[in-house]
Each structure stands twice: as structure tokens, then as C-alpha cells.
Structure 1
Amino acid sequence: MRRLMPAFAILVLPGLALAAPQCPATAGTPAEPTAMPVQQKGRQPQPRPILPDEITGSPALTRIASHGAVLFDIGRPEDQHGLRAVYARNGDHFRVFYITPDGAAEIGGVMWDASGHNLTRDEVAPIRGTIPTVVLNDRNGPSNGATGTSGPAVNPVRRLSAASYGLYGGKEAPRVYMVVDPLCPYSTRALQTLQPYVDAGMLQLAIVPISINDYENHAASTPAAIAMLSVPSDAMVPLWRHIMAQGHAPADVTISDNAQATLKLNLDAAHAIGVRGTPTIVWSDRNGTPHQEAGLPDDVDRFVAGLPV
């Protein structure tokens, strides 16, 4: 059994409803302008461009293409309860839609199976530039074998340990770095998801504020991040909750003289490890191997169980 959750997608096309596991960064390495295939994995087919006559024959596809998106078929209808999985790309942004059999309606979102596995991520994985990854090949530590961004290899745990962050949770618990935009809804949802594990002493969060969502909230993210970086480490998450409730930085926070420069350093750290959106989590497993993931893992219980004890 599969569940389609319209509240989520991978990134967002301009002019369409927001639905993403991450708020996408607007700066840094741009995504590929077209759907470029990579080596096929498992049973997933390569994306197929949808021809103009197919688009005009479907009201749903016509609506999606009217925003300037280029459309590709991904996945197989027989694997999606008869729905047609369509990858729509417009510049650096993309979104996945599921089209009804009559071609008249579309659902933007992510499909999950009964075990909680993200099927949409599997469908878009054959498209280069879609799933953010990072190369880890540290001379002083093991590599996780991932492939991804160009440029020198960076140990993300070591890089973020030198950033400015707020600590939340017991000091004896294994630390997980989480790069957030204070006003990114997916960052706040990630905090809510991990809250029970923090409360149980199973992990400690190191919250690294950056600002990438100003284009969505009338430039409210930057002052919110600066406010968070103006308070002591243990006060950062309580202030973040206040910011979540208000939707902007509170007026009664005294901004430190170096907060803006600190935000710039955090942004530099995020760029160095290839962050493409928030939240991004970074951690070391029980073997000391560093890992980085865009958004939260599909199986949070398994992720937490693999942290050092």
C-alpha cells in the first residue's frame, strides 16, 4: 500500500503551491537546466520527455506546463496505483506531480509506501542534480562513499563544528548538526519530529542558523537568523520557537555586533559542504563516518539507532 502526501514535494516551481521536504537555496551551485539521466538504479526507468501533443491532450499537463516547466515522465503507472508520475522542471526548481488516469487532475506531492519509504525520491534519483549529495573523502577520516558536488572533499561534521550553533538536548547524547532557516516550514517540522528523541536523551541537536528563504517571506529569514545568532547557545532554540510563533524576529532581542558576520560564516560553511536547502542534517555514525542528508531520513528511528552510544 502506498500513501500520497500532497503536503510534500522535493522542490517547488515558481507560481505553484509550496510542497517540499526542504526549503531550496537560491544561491550556490545551480541545478541542471534539464532532466539529465544518471546511471539507472534498480527498476527505475530513465526520465522520458513529454511531447507537446501529449501535453495539449491533458488539461493537467497543460496547466503545469503553462508555468514554463519542461515535463518528463518518471516511474511507472503500474507502480503508482495507476497514476502518472511527472517531473516538472523550471530553471533551478522542480516538482513531482501525480496525474490522474483521465489526465484532468494533478496532485503535487510525495508518495510513500506502507513502510514509510519515500518512493518519489527513488523515482527522481535517476535525474542528475535532483538529490543533493556530498563527496566525503577526508584524509584524516573514512569516507561514506557518496558522490555529488564538485570541488574539494569536505568533512561536513568537522566543518559545521567550527560554525556557530545552538545546542539543544543533553550534553552526553550524540550530536546531530541541523542546518536550518528559522522561517523554513520544513526546518520547523524537522525540529518537531526530532523533539521526542531529544527529550529521551537519544540525541543532541546543534542548530546552525542560515538564511535562504528570504525570497519566500519578504526578507524575514535573515533578521530571524541574526537574532538567533545574537543569543547564547542554550537560548537559541527557545528563541527559534518564539520566531516560529510570530513569523518574524522579535523586536526585543538585542542584536550582537558580530551576529551578521557570524551568519555570513555559517552561510560559508553551508556552501562548503554543499547545502542545497534546509533542513540539512549532518552526523557521525558509530564507526565515526560522517554523513549528510537533505531533509530528515525516511526512517528516523533507524537513523537515531545508528548514532554513537
Structure 2
Amino acid sequence: MRRFMPAFAILALPGLALAAPQCPSVADTPARPAAVAVPQVGGQPQPRPIPAAEIARSPALSRIASQGASVFDIGRPEDQHGLRAVYARNGDHFRVFYITPDGGAEIGGVMWDASGHNLTRDEVAPIRGTIPTVVLHGQGSSRSEPGAAASPATVNPVGRLSAASFGLYGRRDAPRVYMVVDPLCPYSTRALQTLQPYVDAGRLQLAIVPISINDYENHGASTPAAVAMLSAAPDGMVPVWRRIMAQGHAPADGAVSETAEAALTLNLDAAHAIGVRGTPTIIWSGRDGAPHEEAGLPDDVDGFVAGLAS
């Protein structure tokens, strides 16, 4: 059994946007998906460029490609319950879509199996630079997952974010986890919801680092939302974020501090420096004091929290 759940916004920081996903609109009697020949190397399916004529026959593919994205087949439809997995790239931006059997609608997101394993990550792993997960083992040494986009080895991500502007949420004596977020990124809000019970239990403290990368999807609403968060005191940042979640934009009655825009610029600089490629990205110190960086939440959140330094 597979299911779709948001995990992290697999989008780079600056650059051109891909077509935004839309809710599926499946025909009453959808046609069976066409067989897709995906070449394999070492048993691992490799991306296949989708020809222009084939794109033109699918409204969903046409929408994705209309913004200048290159589109590729990944995975196998028989492994996706009849859905067609498509990798779309536009410059430094990339995204995975699952196309409905009639070719009329696309679902942008991440597919998980019943055990909580991230299937989409497996599908994009053969594509160089698409897995932005790096675990740093001490200064100047790193180990990346296959296909990972490496963070600069000379930058300690925990140290770099400790100098950024962030809000604190949770007990001060709990292990601190930095979370780089776009306030209007649905994957960031889901991450906060997922970690809420652990914060309430005193098992971790979140240091929320607001940035803005989703302006192209929400007509420029992410930047004022991030500025609103950065205008709040550190312990008031999450309450402001909750208002933003509820309203879908920055509070109209919120006062903007004189330093908030500069703080946002510095946070974006910090995100670039440590190699952040999407939101949320989490940064923490392990029990051995070594810094760790991961895009999205780990598949095993319980294990992750248990392994935090105390």
C-alpha cells in the first residue's frame, strides 16, 4: 500500500518555478496508462526524457512543461498503483509529480509505502544532485547519500544557524533542533505539527529559522510572512506563524520591525551557506557533538528524537 504525504518542498532557493500542482480531476472512465519504457542501469530505473509529442497529448504534462521545465519518466507505473511518476526540472528547481491514468491531472508530492518508507526518494536517487541530505561527521568531513547535493564541508551548519535569526519553541533545557522553514510551505507546517508532541513532552526545542522560497507559488506572500515572523520576539515567533497558517498570509495588523527584512536576508544567506535546497531542512547536533543536516523530517522521527544530544 502506498500513500501520498508531504515531506519537504523539493525546490531550490532562487530560480524559475515549475507549474504548481492542481487537485486531480479524473474522468469517469479513465483510460489505462500507456506503457512507459524506462531504461535501467544496474537494476535501478533511470529517468527517460518525455518527447514533445507525448507531452502534448497529456494536459497534465503540458501544464508542467509550459513553464519551461524538462520532464522525465521515473520509476515504473506498475509500482505506483497505475500512476505515472514524472520528474520535472527547471534550472535549479525540481519536483516530482504523479500523473493520473487519464493524463489530465497531476499530483505534486511524495509517495510513502505502508511502512513509512519514502518511495519518491528512491526514485530520484539515481538523478545526480536531487537528494539534498548530507550528514556531516566533524569539520571538513562529510558523508552524503547517493546523488546528494553536498553542503560546503567547511561550514558547520549548527554554528552557522546559531548566528541566524530564529524563534525558540520548547523547553530551554531540551536538545535544540534548528528547522529552516518557509512559513507558507505546507511541508514546513506539517513538520511543525509532527514535532509538536515531542516539543510538548520536553524532548526537543525547536529553533525556527524563517526564510522565503515559495513566493512564486503564492504570489509573493512568503516574504511578508517571513518578515512578520522575524518581527516577533523569539518566544513569540511560533504564535505568529500559527496565525499565518490560519490566514494563509502575514497578519494585516502585525507591526513590522525595522530589522526584520535585514534578518530575512541574513537567514537566506545562512541557508545558502549550509547548502539548504528546500524547506523544511533540519539541523542538529548528535550525541557525539557532530552536526547533522537533513532535508525534511527523517522517516523514523522517534529514532531521530531519541538520538539527539542531551
| TM-score, length-scaled by structure 1 | 0.78
| Alpha carbons 2:17, 2:216 under 8 Å: kept | no
CA deviation profile, 1:160-204 (whole Å, cap 9, x unmatched): 111111110011211100111222222222111111111111111
**Contact 1:83-1:98 at 8 Å conserved across structures:** yes
Is the alpha carbon distance of 1:93 and 1:234 closer, same or farther for their aligned partners in structure 2, counting shifts above 3 Å? same
Which residue is equivalent to 2:85? 85
Verify the 8 A CA contact 1:168 1:206 in the aligned structure 2.
yes
Letter in 2 for 1:97: F
Q: Which residue of structure 2 aligns with residue 30 of structure 1?
A: none
Which moved further from structure 2: 62-71 or 178-187?
62-71
Give the 5 Å matches for 1:167-206. Answer: 167-206=168-207
| 1:6–1:148 CA distance, 2 compared to 1 (3 A) | closer
User: Does the 8 A contact of 1:86 with 1:97 survive in 2?
Assistant: yes
Q: What whole-Å deviation, never above 9, does each CA across 1:8-34 have from its counterpart, x for those lacking one? A: 874596333269xxxxxxxxxxxxxxx
Q: Name the residue aligned to 1:269.
A: 270
Distance 2:220 2:72 in 1: 33
Unaligned runs of 5+ in 1: 20-39
- For 1:15 and 1:138, locate their aligned partners in 2 and report how far apart those are by CA, in whole Å: 39
Amino acid at match of 2:125: A
Q: What letter matches 2:80 in structure 1? A: Q
Counterpart Cα distance in 1 of 2:309 and 2:266 = 28
Which residue does 1:246 correspond to in 2? 247
Give the C-alpha shift of residue 156 in structure 1.
Answer: 0.7
- What is the total number of aligned residue pairs between the two structures? 286
- 2:50 matched to which residue of 1? 50
CA distance in 2, matches of 1:65, 1:264: 31
Alignment check: 8 A CA contact 1:13 1:95 kept = no
Q: Deviations over 1:13-65 (max 9, x none)?
A: 6333269xxxxxxxxxxxxxxxxxxxx7x842222223445546666655654
Structure 2 counterpart of 1:303: 304
Task: Describe how 1:118-267 pairs up with structure 2 within 5 A.
Answer: 118-134=118-134, 136=136, 138-139=138-139, 143-145=142-144, 148-149=149-150, 151=152, 153-267=154-268
The whole-number CA distance in structure 2 between the counterparts of 1:196 and 1:300 is 11
Contact 2:87–2:97 (Cα < 8 Å) also in 1: yes
Percent identical pairs in the alignment equals: 76
Quick one: distance in 1 between partners of 2:66 and 2:255?
A: 46
Return the TM-score normalized by structure 2.
Answer: 0.78
Q: Could you tell me which runs of 5 or more consecutive residues in structure 2 were left unpaired when the two chains were aligned.
A: 24-40
| Residue of structure 1 in register with 2:114 after alignment | 114
Partner of 1:25: none
Per mean C-alpha deviation after superposition, the further-off stretch among 44-53 and 276-285 is 44-53
Aligned-residue offset at 1:210: 1.6
Query: Which string of whole-angstrom CA distances, capped at 9 and with x for unpartnered residues, describes residues 100-152 of structure 1?
Result: 66x6455424321110111011101111232224474653x864556533755
Q: What is the RMSD computed on CA atoms of the aligned residues? A: 3.2
